[in-house]
């Protein structure tokens, strides 16, 4: 019997790649006086490369960009502050995010979220997506003092929801931090397919679209 479904945020509910590109385009436009000597596509492409899917700290990214492109008149701190405050204005959800959350909520299934990142930024992004009201528990690694793939953060989320691991599903895009880590604590691990990662990924279920969770839950409830 499935009582809870828990989600990752970036790359699962939030299309981080699309959101990041929107933000960088907007930032390049806002700071034309300082970045105008760099073609927008060149700036964006290099940012995405240095960012490494969010696994490189943004201060390092901006420092490198300033050095490489000889950016003058604006500091990396100012660019980083703009990134932090403006990201939520550029959030792009994956298709069917609200639809699947609404469906699961109407099935009386508890919803939770476990995401690595900075608390203020992640909560503002969740709010920007308009989905915070669906979740009974949201755990952000900075606030919790532990991060995925540490099993403690999964167990803490399950405790907050009052469910056992075998009664819960975890959905994420990272093969190790999300799928393997959740399965290691006894949860049902669902991989939201991402072509960035080489297949095959060891998961209980693999989905391309979030609304496929409807069938996953139905199968497990049978």
Task: Please give the pLDDT value at position 150.
Answer: 98
In sequence order, which residues have a C-beta less than 8 Å from that of residue 165 and are 6 or more positions away? 154, 155, 158, 185, 186, 187
Report mean pLDDT in 10-residue bins for the chain, 222 residues: 97 97 98 97 97 92 98 98 96 98 97 96 97 98 98 98 98 97 98 86 95 96 80
Full-model pTM: 0.94
DSSP state of 90: G
> Which alpha helices (DSSP H) does 57-150 contain, by range?
58-69, 76-86, 97-106, 119-129, 141-144
What is the predicted pLDDT for the residue at 198?
A: 75
Give the CA distances from residue 168 to residues 11, 175, 176, in Å, rounded to whole numbers and listed in that order.
Answer: 20, 18, 18
pLDDT at 196: 84
Q: What are the Cα distances from residue 109, in Å, to 87, 101, 105, 167?
A: 30, 9, 6, 10
Determine how many CB atoms are found less than 10 A away from the CB of residue 200: 9
Q: Three-state SS for 222?
A: coil
Beta strands in 106-164 (DSSP E): 110-115, 137-140
Q: Which long-range contacts (CB under 8 A, 24 or more apart) does 73-78 make?
A: 73/33, 73/34, 74/31, 74/34
Tokens of 124: 């503002």
Helix 97-106, helix 213-221: angle, nearest 10: 20
């Amino acid at each position: 019997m499935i009582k809870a479904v828990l989600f990752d945020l970036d790359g699962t509910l939030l299309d981080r790649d699309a959101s990041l590109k929107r933000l960088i385009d907007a930032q390049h436009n806002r700071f034309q006086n300082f970045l105008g000597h760099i073609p927008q596509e060149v700036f964006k492409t290099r940012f995405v490369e240095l960012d490494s899917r969010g696994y490189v700290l943004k201060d390092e990214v901006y420092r490198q960009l300033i050095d490489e492109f000889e950016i003058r008149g604006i500091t990396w701190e100012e660019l980083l502050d703009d990134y932090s405050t403006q990201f939520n204005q550029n959030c792009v959800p994956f298709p069917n995010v609200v639809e699947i959350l609404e469906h699961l909520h109407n099935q009386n299934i508890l919803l939770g979220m476990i995401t690595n990142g900075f608390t203020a930024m992640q909560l503002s992004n969740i709010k920007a997506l308009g989905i915070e009201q669906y979740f009974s528990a949201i755990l952000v690694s900075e606030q919790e003092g532990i991060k995925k793939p540490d099993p403690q953060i999964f167990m803490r989320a399950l405790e907050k929801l009052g469910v056992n691991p075998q009664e819960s599903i975890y959905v994420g895009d990272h093969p190790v931090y999300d799928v393997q880590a959740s399965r290691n604590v006894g949860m049902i691990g669902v991989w939201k397919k991402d072509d960035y990662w080489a297949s095959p990924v060891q998961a209980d279920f693999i989905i391309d679209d979030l609304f496929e969770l409807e069938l996953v839950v139905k199968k497990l409830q049978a």
